[in-house]
Structure 1
Amino acid sequence: MLIPLANDPRDYAWGSTSLLADLEGREASGRPEAEVWFGDHPGDPSETADGRTLDRWIADEGAASGVGEPLPYLLKLLAAASALSIQAHPSKAQAEEGFAREEAAGIPRDAPDRTYRDANHKPELIVALSDTFRALAGLRDLDATRRLVATLGPGAAPLADRLKGADASLSAVIGWLLSDGAAAARDVIAAAVTAESDEFAAELALARTLEAAFPGDPGIVVALLMNLVTLQRGEGLFVPAGVLHAYLEGLGVELMAASDNVLRGGLTPKHVDAAELVSVLDPTPGLPPVIVPREIAAGVRRYDVPVADFALLAVSPDEDGVEVVLEGPAIAVATAGSPAVRALASEDVATLSPGAAVLVTANEGGLRVTGEGEIFVALPGH
């Protein structure tokens, strides 16, 4: 079966007022529209054509179609006009331990100071739909960061001191910035907004933008330790457990494990638990984990990620169409044109406009995609 899915955009403050409306070819609502969720996550499950939420539909009817369990992934359209919070996500083991700890402490799951809202990890993949998509991802090479900090002058001396030596710990630096180093962070920010550097012009421009939006936030200094990434359309960014990241601007398809566990590191009025963030943080510097899709068949590209929770395909059919083999329940969302999808077993057919999505039940085995346009297909990994 093909089960049409719909959901309302979530109105987070960082959302764009135009990107989702432009994608879908409709009038803008005038409100920030940040994310549209396609999945059965209880935080905001999609709605089926008969008015049931997808989690309810799966409970009622999923077993007969091979969708007997909750989906292991959550698919989103994400539209950012300004920075999301700097954050990292726990590993599976860390999530299980933290969830059990907070359950035992009696912290309500919807409490603002609750960190572990479920017992799952949350690796995630974002793929740029806009011409460019900007993000912060991972920690920059230490030598490069030392060069950046040197351009800031005497105001950044306490930070420069903590970055000296072969045993410099980025985890310790971040923990200090988000707790006892708040006053020093303000001095670093003041230096960054007036500094000039050919090598780090983009990073300093970002610091000025963030200071205007989040005055004095220590997360601005954390951002100066991170890789600034600009994805081109179709490129992906994979964020595994423990890797600091923040999306800055653009439209994308996001796919993640079905979890809502977020440990924040600044650029937000929400709860920041510096010690817990540091406990899950991967402090290893390195290049950002950019993914270029691999063509697995004519018109079908796969984003290879090292997790079993999900996989993502991008499908752009030619005039003859393309057949896509699927293992397990999948969700297809259109991002361009008006492609038609036909389920291989039932021969159910749906024509999708940009922003429209369907659940493809596991007993179908795949899709045939025809017409002009593009769809992204989320499915369980292996």
Structure 2
Amino acid sequence: MLVSLSNVPRSYDWGSRDAISRLQGRPPSTMPEAELWFGDHPGAPATVEDGTGRTLDAWIADEGEARGITGPLPFLLKLLAADSPLSIQAHPTLDQARVGYDREEASSVPRDAPHRNYRDANHKPEVIVAIDGDFEALAGFRPADEIVELLDDMGVDDPDVARLRRGLRHDDARSAIASFVRASLAGEVAGAAALIAAVCSPGRSRFADDFAAIRRVEKAYPGDPGVVVALLMNRIVLAEGEALFVPAGVPHAYLRGLGVEIMAASDNVLRGGLTPKHVDVPELLSVLDTRPGRVALLAPEAVAPGVEIFAPPVSDFALVRVRRPEGTEGETSVELLGAAIALATNGTSTIVGSAGAVTLAPGEACLITPDEGRVRITGVGEVFLARPGRFAPA
């Protein structure tokens, strides 16, 4: 069964006024449009376009079992449009999420409390695929020797910076980074202002593009201690069609761009700055992966002409990208492995099921129930299909 879905963009300050609207062929919005959700997550469930006005979570409760859906979807699919930086954040492992959730439940912390860290008992791995030019992000901590080179290039004389440099050169790099992050977020790095001033000073450096990004971060969050943490992180620029996988513990912050994002269905976020929201430094450090090093992009697997799969090592989701350029003949067949959601991002694609079809324009989506097993795609354009992953659950 194919079920058409719709939703309205979520308005966060960091969102773009024209990226999602341009994709959908609308005039620019008067408000930032940050995310467009397609899923049954209770935070902003999609609406089922069957005339009943039901949200997808209600539809699944009413009709899902008869169509092979036995519970909430394990993933959430989004369009994400960033015009300014999001917060630095990390997500827990599944075990950490369960322990943290049970602890806060036992302490009677309201699930909607601003200071709550674990709003559910799930992990939140995620993948972002750039779909419109360059997508800029920070992810993971730079290699130790590169952080040292960057600090040397900045020339800031500060005891905490010197301690970090020594730790990276001679001691345990992970502990050195963790200590510096803790001190930064606690406002205890006396040289923080000097580091930011060095970033903002004109000059030639091999880190010029990185410094330019940090200047944009500082402009969006003046005085935020997370700006200094951002200095230590890898800057990554995704070209159209490239993907970044963020596993548990890896710090990350999306800076700007339009992408398709898929994640496990969870609200568990431990923030590390660049935000007015709650930052629990001890809890963040308990889940944070402080290993320095490069972050590899998630390479897709080509499975058929015009079909590739972004398959991270999680059971919650995989993301299939189908491209059908002008002149493509016949149909493209895609295996589902369970309930799936199709989202068009370019051209016009028709999803053909066993008893019907849905045509999608850019920014439109539909649910595909597990009893379909496989769908065929026609038309000219690009469509992403979110589906369960092949990896066995932990």
Residue 31 to residue 180, structure 1, CA distance change in 2 (3 Å): closer
Q: Distance in 2 between matches of 1:333 and 1:264?
A: 29
Residue 209 to residue 180, structure 1, CA distance change in 2 (3 Å): closer
Matched-pair contact (CA < 8 Å) for 1:196–1:204: no
Q: Is 2:338 aligned against 1:336?
A: no
Alignment-derived partner of residue 4 in structure 2: 4
> Shift of residue 166 of structure 1?
2.6
Cα offsets for 1:182-213 (capped at 9, x unmatched):
54322321222116342111111122212211
Matched-pair contact (CA < 8 Å) for 1:86–1:219: yes
Q: Distance in 2 between matches of 1:339 and 1:264?
A: 38
Q: Distance in 1 between matches of 2:67 and 2:162?
A: 59
Alignment-derived partner of residue 216 in structure 1: 223
SS of equivalent residue, structure 2 residue 147:
helix
Q: Which amino acid aligns with 1:268?
A: T
Residue 195 to residue 178, structure 1, CA distance change in 2 (3 Å): farther
Q: Distance in 2 between matches of 1:183 and 1:145?
A: 18
> Shift of residue 328 of structure 1?
0.2
> Shift of residue 154 of structure 1?
3.0
Residue 326 to residue 58, structure 1, CA distance change in 2 (3 Å): same
Alignment-derived partner of residue 15 in structure 1: 15
SS of equivalent residue, structure 2 residue 156:
helix
Alignment-derived partner of residue 44 in structure 1: 44
Residue 157 to residue 172, structure 1, CA distance change in 2 (3 Å): closer
SS of equivalent residue, structure 1 residue 339:
strand
Matched-pair contact (CA < 8 Å) for 1:140–1:226: yes
Alignment-derived partner of residue 153 in structure 2: 151
SS of equivalent residue, structure 1 residue 121:
coil
TM-score (norm. length: structure 1): 0.97
TM-score (norm. length: structure 2): 0.94
Of residues 310, 313, 338, the one that matches 2:317 is 310
Give the % identical residues. Answer: 53
Q: Which amino acid aligns with 2:337?
A: E
Q: Distance in 1 between matches of 2:156 and 2:189?
A: 17
Alignment-derived partner of residue 132 in structure 1: 134
Alignment-derived partner of residue 27 in structure 1: 27
Alignment-derived partner of residue 300 in structure 1: 307
5+ residue gaps, structure 2, are: none
> Shift of residue 315 of structure 1?
0.6
> Shift of residue 109 of structure 1?
0.8
Report which stretch shifted further, 153-162 or 364-373: 153-162
Map residues 184-263 of structure 1 onto 2, 5 A cutoff.
184-194=191-201, 196-263=203-270
Alignment-derived partner of residue 99 in structure 1: 101
Matched-pair contact (CA < 8 Å) for 1:24–1:355: yes
Q: Is 2:365 aligned against 1:357?
A: yes
Matched-pair contact (CA < 8 Å) for 1:140–1:285: yes
Alignment-derived partner of residue 112 in structure 1: 114
Q: Distance in 2 between matches of 1:235 and 1:284?
A: 23
Residue 373 to residue 18, structure 1, CA distance change in 2 (3 Å): same
Q: Distance in 1 between matches of 2:195 and 2:159?
A: 8
SS of equivalent residue, structure 2 residue 103:
helix
Matched-pair contact (CA < 8 Å) for 1:155–1:188: no
How many positions carry a matched residue from both structures?
380
Report which stretch shifted further, 315-324 or 275-284: 315-324
Cα offsets for 1:274-321 (capped at 9, x unmatched):
111100011111211312322101121111210000000001132222
Cα offsets for 1:23-82 (capped at 9, x unmatched):
000112211000011101111111101310111111100001001211000000000000
Q: Which amino acid aligns with 1:154?
A: V
Q: Distance in 2 between matches of 1:83 and 1:212?
A: 10
Of residues 357, 370, 375, the one that matches 1:367 is 375
Alignment-derived partner of residue 275 in structure 2: 268
